[in-house]
Every structure is written in structure tokens, then in C-alpha cells.
Amino acid sequence: MANTSSRTLRLLSLLQTRRWWPGPLLAERLDVSPRTLRRDVDRLRELGYPVDAAPGVEGGYALAAGTALPPLVVDDEEAMALAVAIQSQLVAGTGGEAAVRAFTKVVQVMPRRLRLRLDAVQAATTPARWGDEPTEHLDHEVLAVLALACRDGERVRFSYATVSRGSSFRRLEPLRLVPLGRRWYLVGYDLDRADWRTFRIDRISAAEGTGVPFAPRTPPFDDVAAFVLAGVQGAEARGAGTHEVEAVVEAPAAAVTARIGGWARVEERTDQTCTFRMETDDLGRALIALAMIGAPFTVVRPPELATRVRAWADRFTAAARNSEAAAVAHD
């Protein structure tokens, strides 16, 4: 017979696989007596798992919904499914901090054989592009190391690749991970440059924790997301072919911000209108962001964006006419 702890975990795993277990069958699967099964069920309840029980010969057990989510037990395939699904969200830039925390917890406890399978899935997967915007590669090992270091206040070291200067070795006291559009950024205090810096995570490799804790520093900014956005927009503005996009949207600023997140700056004009601003080298990205809002808008600048809007409107109008004609012909 298995020891009490492993048997309790086995019981929890079985209860999660079916809505209802007859008592005799559950005791048989665990190779225990009905009395021992009742004690194990009581132990689960003490740990915070709500287990419903029906007495009698035909009675049984079911894992019920509770007021709080207790720890769950997953098998290898379920752990892989969770990791792959969360990783897909992170690559798309839609997961947010909750996805990072969940992904870190799963990957941290994965045995090596599952990590190798996750690596294989990532290597064999090619993310599709939405519009003209590229999808950046996101290394789950790097992300997990950085997330743990941010959580635990541990210094990290890594190699960082830049377009103009090649690769350089960095030592950092990490602060936060920030998703922006389809990219992830790391903010922290660069020990060698004695300054706060922002790093694109898709350009980080060979990241590892040093085991050295650090006392929290007070950053020279209150909003870490705004700090990243200002840095990214400043870098884009220094590049060639950058467009300054401005549009008036007929929707409340809070609603627009909720729809497009960190894609652009949103400034309130009135209770029902706001100004959309973005610096980008790809007008297609701006057009997609405006379309995602789902509200009427007017392009203020640049004129090239207004031209694109007209071209898209003509295509969609033609598509609508063709679809209506096809529907009539089909009837």
C-alpha cells in the first residue's frame, strides 16, 4: 500500500478525472478499505478540497466547487497542454502578468523529459503573422528564469543582442516583465552601466540566476509600463521611416485602452471621445489597432494612413457587395 501522502495525491488525481466515483470502485482503485478511503477524504477536506459524499451502499464521492481554488494535480499530458497554451499566449503578447506567473510555476516543476518535449514543440512551431507585424521568438527558459528572479529579488546575468552593437554580457537587478504589443520587455537596474534599462526579452539568451539577492531600489519612475512605452517610442522615433499617428476615436478613453492595451497612447478628450497616438514604422499596425477598437474614428495624421483607410474601406465595401450578390444568387 502506498504511503499516506502519495495515496492522498492519487485520490485527488482520481477525483479530478470524473464527476462522480462510487465508493467501492474508488477504494478498489486505491487498494484500500472503505474506512481508509473515508479517512483520506477527510484529509483532503482538511487541506481545503471540497469533497461531497453520499452515504450507503450506492454512495460515492465527488470533488465539488469551493470558495477558493485549491492546488490541482495534473498529469504529464495536462502539464504539457497548459505550458503550450500559456506559451502561445505569451508569444502573442496577450497573456499578461498572470500568464507569466502561471507559466513559471508550471515550467519550474517540470521534469527534464517534459522540458525537452516543450522545447521540441517550440522548435517545431512557426507563429503566424497578423498583418505586417512580425511575431518574435520567446524562449520559455529565459522567461521562466527572469520571472523567478523578479519574484525572488535575485540578480541575473545574460547575453543581450542589439542590432548595431552585436551581443554584450549584462548583469541586472530585475524589476518587472512588461508585455507591449506582441513583445515582452524586462526592466531592471543595469549594474555595469549604473542605470535603469529596458531589454527586449526575445533578444536575451543564456539567462541565469546568480543566487545573489539584492535590496530593492526605488526606480526614478512611478509607472513601469509607461517607462517601457516611452523608451520604445523614443527608439522608434530615432529610426528611419517612423510615422506619428494621431486619430480621434468616438469612444471613451477607458474602453479604448481596454481594447488595445499597450499598442498606443490614449488621451481623454470628452466623456465619449479620445485621442489615439502611436509612433510606428508600420502603418498597418496602426490601422489594425484602430480597427480592433470597434468604434468610429477620424485620422488626423499622417495623410498616408488616411489613404490606407480609404483603400481598406473600398476593399471591404466591394467584398460586402460581392457577398450580398452571392447570397441572392444562392437563394
This prediction has a pTM of 0.48
Q: Who has greater pLDDT, 126 or 175?
A: 175
Q: Are residues 22 and 127 in the same domain?
A: no
pLDDT tens figures, 75-92:
777 777 777 777 766 766
pLDDT beyond 90 at 171 = yes
Q: Is 148 helix (H, G, I), strand (E, B) or coil?
A: helix
Asked whether residue 230 is domain-assigned, the answer is no
For position 146, what pLDDT does the model report? 87
Find the mean pLDDT for residues 147-156.
Answer: 88
pLDDT tens figures, 173-186:
999 888 776 678 89
- % residues pLDDT > 70 (the chain): 80
How many Å from the N-terminal Cα to the C-terminal Cα in the chain? 69
Q: Which parts of the chain fold into alpha helices (H)?
A: 4-15, 23-30, 34-46, 76-92, 96-108, 112-123, 140-152, 224-237, 253-260, 283-293, 303-330
Q: Are residues 9 and 31 in the same domain?
A: yes
For position 162, what pLDDT does the model report? 75
For position 131, what pLDDT does the model report? 46
Find the mean pLDDT for residues 259-273.
Answer: 85
Q: Which residue has the cell 517612423?
A: 242
For position 58, what pLDDT does the model report? 72
Q: Which of 63-77, 148-162, 174-188 has the highest mean pLDDT?
A: 148-162
pLDDT beyond 60 at 68 = no
Amino acid, single-letter form, for residue 161: A
Q: Are residues 55 and 130 in the same domain?
A: no
Structure confidence at residue 251 as a pLDDT band (50, 70, 90): very high
Structure confidence at residue 67 as a pLDDT band (50, 70, 90): very low
CA within 13 Å, CB half, 210: 14
With 0-12 / 13-18 / 19 or more C-beta atoms within 10 angstroms meaning exposed / middle / buried, residue 209 is: middle
Find the mean pLDDT for residues 108-112.
Answer: 76
Number of domains making up the chain: 3
Q: Are residues 200 and 246 in the same domain?
A: no
For position 129, what pLDDT does the model report? 47
For position 103, what pLDDT does the model report? 76
DSSP-derived pairing of the beta strands 195-200 and 183-190:
antiparallel
> Which residues, at least 6 apart from 160, have a Cβ–Cβ distance to it below 8 Å?
167, 168, 169, 170, 199, 203, 204
58-72 CB burial, b ≥16 within 10 A, e <16: eebbebeeeeeeeee
pLDDT tens figures, 275-312:
998 877 678 888 888 988 989 999 998 888 999 899 88
* 48-62, 96-110, 190-204, 270-284: segment of lowest average pLDDT: 96-110
Amino acid, single-letter form, for residue 33: S
pLDDT tens figures, 196-231:
999 998 899 999 999 899 999 999 888 888 888 877
Q: Which residue has the cell 479530478?
A: 16
Pull the grid cell for residue 171: 548583469
Q: Which residue has the cell 548595431?
A: 164
Among residues 162, 192, 221, the one where a domain terminates is 221
Q: Who has greater pLDDT, 181 or 110?
A: 110
pLDDT beyond 80 at 168 = yes
Give yes or no for a contact between 166 and 175, defined as CB atoms under 8 angstroms apart: no
Q: Supply the mean pLDDT for the chain.
A: 80
The parent domain of residue 298 ranges over 240-319
> Which residues, at least 6 apart from 237, have a Cβ–Cβ distance to it below 8 Å?
244, 279
Q: Who has greater pLDDT, 302 or 234?
A: 302
For position 235, what pLDDT does the model report? 58
Give yes or no for a contact between 172 and 189, defined as CB atoms under 8 angstroms apart: yes
Which CATH number is 51's domain given?
1.10.10.10
Q: Are residues 48 and 92 in the same domain?
A: no
Asked whether residue 247 is domain-assigned, the answer is yes
Distance of CA 262 to the CA centre of its chain: 14
pLDDT beyond 70 at 48 = yes
Structure confidence at residue 240 as a pLDDT band (50, 70, 90): very low
For position 132, what pLDDT does the model report? 45
Find the mean pLDDT for residues 166-194.
Answer: 86
Asked whether residue 68 is domain-assigned, the answer is no
Q: Are residues 252 and 179 in the same domain?
A: no
Which CATH number is 270's domain given?
3.30.70.250
> Which residues, at least 6 apart from 231, have a Cβ–Cβ distance to it below 8 Å?
198
Q: Which residue has the cell 516611452?
A: 230
For position 331, what pLDDT does the model report? 62
